[in-house]
Amino acid sequence: MVPEAVASTIVPGAPTATPAACASPPRLPTRPPRSHTTTSGGSRTTPTATINWKTRQVRCPAGRTSSHWNPVKQHGKDAIVITFSVLTCRDCPLQKQCTASRTGRRMLTLRPEELHENLARARAEQKTDTWKNKYALRAGVEGTINQALDITGFRRARYRGLPKVRLHHAFSATALNVIRLDAHWTTGPLDRPRTSRLERLSYRLSA
């Protein structure tokens, strides 16, 4: 739950969210598929595979079908492991685009149908300009809250009693305002994303 003092923090140069924009907040960004190739609705540009949930088969970009469909448990969650035969993938002209495994055969790990379809719709939605514009507002607010957590540490209350905790939040928001105003006036607006030290070092080495 976000403290009232932090929720009303002034962010110089940040856009102001209108009631209409806040009425339907965007979903959190979904990660792209980890597989070498993608299924329908994936976000990568490699060849896609077609899933037939009724027959429990997957058809690869070359038009060949999978040989095994195994429901499993992974990290306590339901998943489906699809395997293509080695003989099917061995002489396929698209093998290098589909798999990098040593055995040379394609394997896919999917979530159950309903969850898979929801992920596909979410990945397609987050490519639209409407979703990006809405999430830009949320990203600014989350950046402010994350900075407040790093600087003031108000995730845990330092004092007992609501009046003291409320005063702590008010002072924390005031300090955050002063820091951000100083950064805005001396080093420019806070409009750049955060980068790790390793990423900044790589930029310097490549310059």
CA separation for the pair 6, 69 (Å, rounded) = 50
For the chain, which residues score pLDDT lower than 50? Answer: 1-23, 37-46
Task: Specify the pLDDT at position 163.
Answer: 92
pLDDT for 133-190, tens place per residue? 888 877 777 778 888 888 888 788 888 899 999 998 899 889 888 988 888 888 765 5
Closest to 11 in 3D by CA, of 180, 182, 173, 134? 180
Residue 203: both structure tokens together: 């930029």
In b/e form, how buried is each residue of 93-113, taking b as 16+ CB within 10 angstroms?
A: ebbeebbeeeebbbbbebeee
Which strand (E) or helix (H) includes residue 169?
helix 162-186
Task: Specify the pLDDT at position 71.
Answer: 92
Q: Considering just the CA atoms, what is the radius of gyration of the chain in Å?
A: 24
